[in-house]
Amino acid sequence: MSANVKKRYTESHKKKLHKTRVRHLAVTVISSIVCLVSVGAYLLSDRFRIVDISIDGILSTSREDVDSYLAEWLEQKKFGIIPVRSYWTLSRGDLAAGLASAFPTIERVDISKEFPHALKIIIKEYAGWGVLCHANAGGCFWIDRAGVAFEPAPDGFSGAIVPKITDERERSVVLLERQLSPEMMRLITFFNEKASSDTRIQSVEFTIASADDTVRIKTRAGWELLVLEKADPEYIWKNLNTALAGDVKDNISRLEYIDLRFGNKIFYKSRK
């Protein structure tokens, strides 16, 4: 009998102990949830709401459009409940990527958060270095020094102020992508810089031929220089100086073109 009583007592004690543990666990879980909710509510309160926004670096991009985009973007909510307009939840990377994607003139965006409710945005826009026009597809586009097209340009652009490149190849322009090879940009940049200081050249337009890798450099005097896209600009320049100091010198007023596509062999043609 005593053994049965002892057994029942032991089982009863275990049940009470189990209930106590479950009760303690439930209290702990509920307390944790309440604590987390309270902390979350505090962190997402207006105390940490992004209200002070400064933007620097905008030159050609519409400031009104950028402000409108920011206002709409900051009203988003993650998972439908968590506001992004909070010091703790705002993703600088997502906002920077969104701005660069929404505005083709923006090359890079640097964003910093300042505790507890300030946001500083620094925008770097593409620099309009030159204009690329497509003879077949039509349309002209501003490009930067890397050959990246970022926005439409006037169709009637003359090329007197910045370099003008006419591409006769069959291809379409994709904004925010490189349109000209590094070799092509190196060549064009080299002769554009030389043209600003050498009165014999003064190139006003570059034309990329459709059939091969030929680039025609038109000078202000009207004659053209024929070179290859992947040629060494320094080597071309050396041969050009040789040509201009030689037979071409006395015929430059009637010159039609100088062909430097064949190594150290120099060909030229004069107008009749």
Per-residue confidence (pLDDT) for residue 30, from 0 to 100:
79
H or E element that contains 142: strand 140-143
The helix/strand/coil state of 57 is: coil
- Angle, CA 189 vertex, CA 180 and CA 143 arms, to 5°: 45
Per-residue confidence (pLDDT) for residue 246, from 0 to 100:
82
176: left (phi over 0), alpha (psi -120 to 50) or beta: left
| Residue range 248-272, pLDDT digits in tens | 877 788 889 999 999 888 898 888 7
* Low pLDDT (below 70) residues in the chain: 1-14, 38-43, 137, 157-160, 202-203
| Residue range 114-156, pLDDT digits in tens | 999 899 999 999 888 899 998 776 789 999 989 999 988 877 7
| Listed residue (168, 222, 224, 158) closest to 191, CA to CA | 224
Per-residue confidence (pLDDT) for residue 160, from 0 to 100:
66
Per-residue confidence (pLDDT) for residue 138, from 0 to 100:
72
The helix/strand/coil state of 187 is: helix
| Cβ contact 203:218 at 8 Å | yes
For residues 150 and 141, give the distance between their C-alpha atoms in angstroms, rounded to a whole number. 7
